[in-house]
Chains A and B, each alone.
Chain A
Amino acid sequence: MTKGWKLYDQRLAWILVAPVLLLLILLLLLPIAMMTVYTFFTFVTAGVESAVLTFDNWKEFLTDSYYHGFLWKTVRVGAITAVICAILGYFPAYFIWATTFRHKWLLLLLLIVPFWISFTIRTFSWIHILGEQGLINVVLIRLGVISEPLPMLYTEGAVIMGLLHFLLPYMILNVYVSLESIDRTLIAAARSMGCTSAQAFREVTLPLSMPGLGAGLLLCFVLAAGSYVTPQLLGGSRDALFGNLIYDTIMGQLNWPMGATLSIVLFVLLGAAAAAYSRYMGLSQIMKGLSA
């Protein structure tokens, strides 16, 4: 049976890859294909659709500004979150990289610690901070700074805050990994040729850490734009994102063909962002960040 097999045999390679390939086909490609087919089904009434093929769902999505508004809002919230993450995340990443503290791993561990608590519970915790009876409002009222509680919860700001809380570690790790790959003698070289440390940062450190920053931006954008729990818990009805719209269409209206259409739209949008990134930066940077 094993006669004639070489160490790096093609057949062996296929056998080793087969389980993963099978899983990907069964659990990813097949469902997406089925959903794509669903987008062409006819919606009859809540919970009922017929297999009569039609372009109605796509026509509705392309013409109804209701959907365009959600799409734009999702892109905007995703972009704002990603950019704020980049600005807030660069400093801790730089600090962890630059510190002479002997136990760096402890600092990196601190970044991982939040992941030990369920993401949903972490999101819930913001209700007790931002809510009308939350920490901030109660303290401000007790201090007499305000008389009426500030409306902070159930706003877009609260949603972005929750997303930042969730996504910052991803950004920090990505930037940190790309900083860590910079050869420090490059900075010494720049300084020896006349750069102040700020100039050396601008000439060497920042440009060479751009791949990590880019990977972090992409990851944060994709995760924020695809988020569902955070806007559901921290946002008002006006602050729903595309994910909530899909949930509502499928679970509320029981309109599966339209829900499938919206899902494919989000999938293509986020896929396009990742494709554009990998075209210019290479996706391997993200893998590096995630495995750090």
Chain B
Amino acid sequence: MHDDNSHDQQPRPASAGAAGDQLAQSERQPTGMPAVEFRDIDIFYGKFAAVRDFSLAIRKGSFVTLLGPSGCGKTTILRSIAGLVDISSGQISIGGKRVDDIPIYKRNIGLVFQNYALFPHKNVFDNVAFGLKYRNVPKPEIVRRVKKALDMVRLPGSETKLPSQLSGGQQQRIALARAIVFEPEVLLLDEPLSALDANMREDMRVEIKKIQRETGITAIFVTHDQEEALSMSDHIVVMNAGLIEQIGSPAQVYDQPATAFVANFLGKANMLPGSVTVMDGKMAMIALASGHVVKVAAPKALATGSAVTVVVRPQKLTVGTAGAANRLAGRIVSTSYLGGNAVYEIDIGAGTLVRANTLIDGQPLREGEAVDVCFGPLGCVLLDAQGLRIA
């Protein structure tokens, strides 16, 4: 279950494992202090381990997303940076300085909450100016910086309004302005989009990302929404049950899921269990439980008879004629028409259902139709019996 990266990355933050390589590659400055660093964090609530063995180094100015289902520990980690949750062991550093014993109000972090958490009895100006007031910024400077922050979130002139006079999206912009106005070392975003409706959410996604780029602030974003994570992040930390499953760029975690959990959680990949029948050079012939034999590129020689799972994204499956290497005969169980493309659920025998997401050429196929599902040997990932990616 446990990805190597979370252990091995720790002593050599920028060079261990695939995720570490990626961190190093994408870093513009060759070296530098990580903006936020976690070392071996454990967080217990009584006997319940909310987070275990959490190690992560976050480059300055990057946008890192903690992604996972509810209860995976992502919010707990976020709150531990803010000092709202005490860590049981390990250490957290912000800008190279240990903060474990620094009280929350001295940590200099910006926090954006899911429910906005604007002060209902204060107007927009007093809300945004709050952090500046407690940093002893002189009054004219406060006025100037509040104005700048409100311009940045595209709500200029709203100083005298009360939060209750603003829409949900506007309130979240004010909350964002309030969190960045005092130029914190880290911006923490705790599922800030989940209370917004779908259209607003997409706008805010773009806007948050834009503001983060412009200000160059280090941002840590918590979400359970894989689309948000994939579209906004420089790096994604996929968590499950208190442990890190994988750390990597959006493309890495999507295309090369390290574990069965990641493959499933991001984009519901097809998981086809089977066993290796024979190696043919770099190709493995795999007998699937559904009765088909498929040819899949293997990163290394696999022992005959070893149990593997073939992971294929729905987008990598074609339905019908294409002359791809692997062709599985099946019958369409359900069709979801999505405009330009369609998602088919196809029964390929022995109770195995696969999902194919394909462009529609002409009419979408109908339920009950017999079709062939095809995929090439290169677009898949192989997992071993423990559910870890074979690399």
Residue of B nearest to A194 (CB): B134
CB within 8 A of B105: which of A185, A192, A207, A208?
A: A192
Residues of chain B lying within 8 A (CB to CB) of residue A183: 115, 117
- The reply to whether the CB of B104 lies closer than 8 angstroms to some CB of chain A is yes
Residue of B nearest to A185 (CB): B117
* Pair A192/B109 contact, Cβ less than 8 Å: yes
Q: How far is the CB of B222 from chain A (nearest CB, A)?
A: 14
* Pair A193/B130 contact, Cβ less than 8 Å: yes
Residue of A nearest to B121 (CB): A207
CB within 8 A of B111: which of A192, A195, A196, A207?
A: A192
The answer to whether A194 and B135 touch (CB under 8 A), given A188-B84, A207-B121, A208-B121, is yes
- The reply to whether the CB of B182 lies closer than 8 angstroms to some CB of chain A is yes
Residue of B nearest to A186 (CB): B117
- The reply to whether the CB of A281 lies closer than 8 angstroms to some CB of chain B is no
CB within 8 A of B113: which of A189, A199, A203?
A: A189
* Pair B115/A193 contact, Cβ less than 8 Å: no
Instruction: Please provide the chain B residues from 201 to 219 with a CB less than 8 Å away from any CB of chain A in the complex.
Output: none
* Pair B134/A186 contact, Cβ less than 8 Å: no
Residues of chain B lying within 8 A (CB to CB) of residue A270: none
- The reply to whether the CB of B173 lies closer than 8 angstroms to some CB of chain A is no
- The reply to whether the CB of B131 lies closer than 8 angstroms to some CB of chain A is yes
Instruction: Please provide the chain B residues from 115 to 136 with a CB less than 8 Å away from any CB of chain A in the complex.
Output: 115, 117, 119-121, 130-131, 134-135
Q: How far is the CB of A221 from chain B (nearest CB, A)?
A: 24
Residues of chain B lying within 8 A (CB to CB) of residue A189: 111, 113, 117, 119
Q: How far is the CB of B112 from chain A (nearest CB, A)?
A: 9
Please, what's the 1-or-0 string for B304-346, where 1 marks a CB less than 8 Å from any CB in chain A?
Answer: 0000000000000000000000000000000000000000000
Instruction: Please provide the chain B residues from 363 to 377 with a CB less than 8 Å away from any CB of chain A in the complex.
Output: none
CB within 8 A of B178: which of A188, A193, A196?
A: A193
- The reply to whether the CB of A165 lies closer than 8 angstroms to some CB of chain B is no
Interface size class of chain A, counting residues whose CB lies under 8 Å from the partner chain: 10 to 19
In this complex, the member of B106, B115, B131, B135 whose beta carbon has the largest number of chain A beta carbons within 10 angstroms is B131
Instruction: Give Cα distance in the complex from A199 to B133, angstroms.
Output: 12
Instruction: Give Cα distance in the complex from A193 to B103, angstroms.
Output: 12
- The reply to whether the CB of B51 lies closer than 8 angstroms to some CB of chain A is no
Residues of chain A lying within 8 A (CB to CB) of residue B84: 188, 191-192
- The reply to whether the CB of A190 lies closer than 8 angstroms to some CB of chain B is yes
The answer to whether A195 and B134 touch (CB under 8 A), given A204-B119, A208-B120, A208-B121, is yes
Instruction: Please provide the chain A residues from 170 to 208 with a CB less than 8 Å away from any CB of chain B in the complex.
Output: 183, 185-186, 188-196, 199, 203-204, 207-208
Q: How far is the CB of A80 from chain B (nearest CB, A)?
A: 29
Q: How far is the CB of B261 from chain A (nearest CB, A)?
A: 30
- The reply to whether the CB of B296 lies closer than 8 angstroms to some CB of chain A is no
* Pair B104/A192 contact, Cβ less than 8 Å: yes
Residue of A nearest to B178 (CB): A193
Q: How far is the CB of B142 from chain A (nearest CB, A)?
A: 13
Residues of chain B lying within 8 A (CB to CB) of residue A192: 82-84, 104-105, 107, 109-111
Instruction: Give Cα distance in the complex from A208 to B109, angstroms.
Output: 24
Residue of A nearest to B131 (CB): A193
Residues of chain B lying within 8 A (CB to CB) of residue A199: 105, 134
Residues of chain B lying within 8 A (CB to CB) of residue A186: 117, 119-120
* Pair B105/A191 contact, Cβ less than 8 Å: yes
The answer to whether A191 and B119 touch (CB under 8 A), given A185-B113, A199-B134, is no
Q: How far is the CB of A202 from chain B (nearest CB, A)?
A: 12
Instruction: Give Cα distance in the complex from A195 to B103, angstroms.
Output: 10
CB-based closest 5 A-B pairs: A194-B134, A193-B131, A192-B111, A189-B117, A185-B117
Give chain B's interface residues, CB within 8 Å of chain A. 82-84, 103-107, 109-111, 113, 115, 117, 119-121, 130-131, 134-135, 178, 182
- Show 13 residue pairs from A and B whose CB-CB distance is below 8 angstroms, ordered by the A residue: A183-B115, A186-B117, A188-B82, A188-B84, A190-B119, A191-B83, A191-B104, A193-B111, A193-B130, A193-B182, A194-B106, A194-B134, A194-B182
